[in-house]
Structure 1
Amino acid sequence: MNVTLPTAEALRTALAGLLDGLPPKQATQAVDRLIASYRGTTPTDAPVLRDRADVVAYAAYRMPATFEAVRAALDALREAAPEWEPATHTDVGGGTGAASWAVAGAWDGPETTVLDWAEPALALGRELAEAGGPPALRAARWQRARIGAALELAPTDLVTVSYVLKELTPAARTELVDAAAGAAQAVVIVEPGTPDGYARVIEARDRLIAAGLSVAAPCPHSAACPIEPGTDWCHFSARVSRSSLHRQVKGGTLSHEDEKFSYVVATRFPVEPVAARVTRRPQIRKGQVLLELCTRDEALRRETVTRRHGALYRAARDTDWGDAWPPPPEEE
């Protein structure tokens, strides 16, 4: 059962009430500090989110973007394995639970455990879930745990690790990815869509494959990434509705912004990856559409679709960055 849209609306509604008790100046200062922390080097011996003001600012500012990025990765997993449905889910470093909201929107009722080392984040996540989350999320377990080295994960169907790896040392990152690979039937890792975020995703991808998992998305294959290191990076974009806090902090007027993210989905069960993935925003020109593709034969290539292709051309005009290509027959 797909309840993504109602879940997204419920999350926005729950977040809308967060700022009522937080002075605007305090919210702005908390967001500014958090942005500086995430852009710099975060120490791994202390949580970034220190108190409720930090957590409220983070939730209002970052949860919608994290939700949309994880939702896109989960959509790719569902596309590759339409019959699979997780009964259990562990959200590693889940904080206030954005990834868990996305999971609750993708499937009806997985039993969720959120692990994080910031107790204020867990408390607010529980509060948000109880305020407007779907039943499975309201029943979730919110547990404090040190994320990184020596983390032990119980067997589970799905593990999500979103925007967490940057906060860890290289050694802790590898231990976390190995723990996820050993515990789960499917692992979803999401990082910022920057060159270093992509590098962390590729590192995790390699370890997941070495642990016996197969890549379900975004790659059409489980071979080495065809991008030459240092020349480019694979990332995608998700449209995010901007809250009043977004507009207040950034001074913008647009109702939306685009979240750039990199991700990998790997599984221990059979999947059918797409034949090719659109890796850049399609270029629509007069009578033609240019698509940058990562293909199943492990190559990057450009495909030009023109009016003479008929239905395929119309489909190309509706194709978005990150979509499968060619589209399923029913979408043509």
Structure 2
Amino acid sequence: MNATLPSAEVLRATLAGLLDGLPPKQAAQAVERLIANYRGTTPTDAPVLRDRSDVAAYAAYRMPATFEAVRSALDALREAAPDWAPVTHTDVGGGTGAASWAVAGAWAGEEPRTTVLDWAEPALALGRELAELSGIPALRAAEWRRARIGAGLELAPADLVTVSYVLNELTADVRAALVDTAAAAAQAVLVVEPGTPDGYARIIEARDRLIAAGLTVAAPCPHSAACPIEPGTDWCHFSARVSRSSLHRRVKGGSLPYEDEKFSYVVATRFGTQPVTARVTRKPQIRKGQVLLDLCTRDEALRRATVTKRHGELYRAARDIAWGDEWPPPGEDG
């Protein structure tokens, strides 16, 4: 496969080529168990992915969604720090490498040196195979290393550390230790969790620890002060559209050609960034002659903005705005 940068299309094609012989019944059973673990709240002290069948099912079930969620978060980081690009990247609990695929394609002309750490050797093995089949230099050059993702984990200094869909597998004390370790090692830390109330709670915990370690929030928040959401009343999350291949639909038992991945995230840095003035935190409501936007703002508050036709160009911009975008758009006067 000739590709220079990862994309959703390249990932789907690579997965299809590697997993073509996966028995549907076996895959479905593995996916059911993985979904139960993914949605559960019970931490584990053993790898969730036990063998190649588990890993193959996981790759078909989760890699496209994880890739899109991490890519969306990285887009926000690039917007906040347009002149910065990582040279080194550590993917903690990276499994088959979905986050590493997203990082490899986020900065055009740059090929970060990636190290993927995971405690499941079958996941690392499949990740290596996918990277090799991709034909993408940055992925093929990545180091895939077995490491226990726990309180004793040591991380070498890196420009970027990603921790995607990992914290839900850990106990509270181990989560805290891992975030502290990432903060000490990195210039930028990205943490992604499921877009559920529990996932958001873990993101807030990580956000607080990153700030306490001296980092500042680059995205999605417009500020590094306390989150204005009252605990228990709501949760901050976003959505990424995921195109589903026939393999993906077969494994997940769905019929639609797409799904929407809900995720929560935070990215914090040790270097200066330009956070957005406000972030759209819900799907915009388009009504006759007006658009309703739910915003998290730089003055540390949540507010509803109503944009009407009398706002002219701003109204036209609001009709095209998406959940998770900055507001007002660059170049527009709010």
TM-score by length of 1: 0.96
CA distance in 1 between partners of 2:186 and 2:213 (Å): 11
Matched-pair contact (CA < 8 Å) for 2:92–2:149:
yes
CA distance in 1 between partners of 2:301 and 2:132 (Å): 47
Distance 1:269 1:260, change over 3 A: same
- Which has the larger displacement, 30-39 or 312-321? 30-39
Residue pairs, 1:204-243, within 5 angstroms: 204-243=206-245
CA distance in 2 between partners of 1:111 and 1:160 (Å): 13
- Which has the larger displacement, 85-94 or 235-244? 235-244
**Structure 2: gaps (5+ residues):** none
Match of 2:94 in 1: 94
Distance 1:4 1:230, change over 3 A: farther
CA distance in 1 between partners of 2:219 and 2:11 (Å): 26
Q: What letter matches 2:281 in structure 1?
A: T
Q: What letter matches 2:129 in structure 1?
A: E
Q: Deviations over 1:2-55 (max 9, x none)?
A: x99852221111011233221111111111111112222455321000000000
Q: Which of 139, 144, 147 lines up with 1:145 in the alignment?
A: 147
CA distance in 1 between partners of 2:154 and 2:252 (Å): 39
Distance 1:115 1:294, change over 3 A: same
- The question of 1:154 aligning with 2:159 is answered no
Q: What letter matches 1:99 in structure 2?
A: A
CA distance in 1 between partners of 2:282 and 2:148 (Å): 37
Q: Secondary structure at the match of 1:259?
A: strand
Q: After TM superposition, give the deviation of residue 245 of structure 1 in Å.
A: 3.6
**Structure 1: gaps (5+ residues):** none
Residue pairs, 1:1-332, within 5 angstroms: 7-107=7-107, 108-329=110-331
Query: What is the CA RMSD across the aligned residues, in angstroms?
Result: 1.7
Q: After TM superposition, give the deviation of residue 239 of structure 1 in Å.
A: 0.2
- Which has the larger displacement, 3-12 or 65-74? 3-12
Distance 1:54 1:331, change over 3 A: farther
Q: Secondary structure at the match of 1:220?
A: coil
Q: What letter matches 1:59 in structure 2?
A: A
Task: Give the total of aligned pairs.
Answer: 330
Q: After TM superposition, give the deviation of residue 173 of structure 1 in Å.
A: 0.1
CA distance in 1 between partners of 2:183 and 2:318 (Å): 36
Q: What letter matches 2:236 in structure 1?
A: C
TM-score by length of 2: 0.96
CA distance in 2 between partners of 1:41 and 1:200 (Å): 11
CA distance in 2 between partners of 1:287 and 1:34 (Å): 45
- Which has the larger displacement, 18-27 or 124-133? 18-27
CA distance in 1 between partners of 2:55 and 2:220 (Å): 31
Matched-pair contact (CA < 8 Å) for 2:57–2:251:
no
CA distance in 1 between partners of 2:4 and 2:65 (Å): 15
| Displacement over 6 Å in runs of 4+ | none
Q: What letter matches 2:14 in structure 1?
A: A
CA distance in 1 between partners of 2:263 and 2:118 (Å): 21
Q: Secondary structure at the match of 2:329?
A: coil
Q: Deviations over 1:277-328 (max 9, x none)?
A: 0000000000110000000000000101111111111110110000000001
* Percent sequence identity over aligned pairs: 83
CA distance in 2 between partners of 1:15 and 1:133 (Å): 13
CA distance in 1 between partners of 2:220 and 2:262 (Å): 14
Distance 1:98 1:46, change over 3 A: same
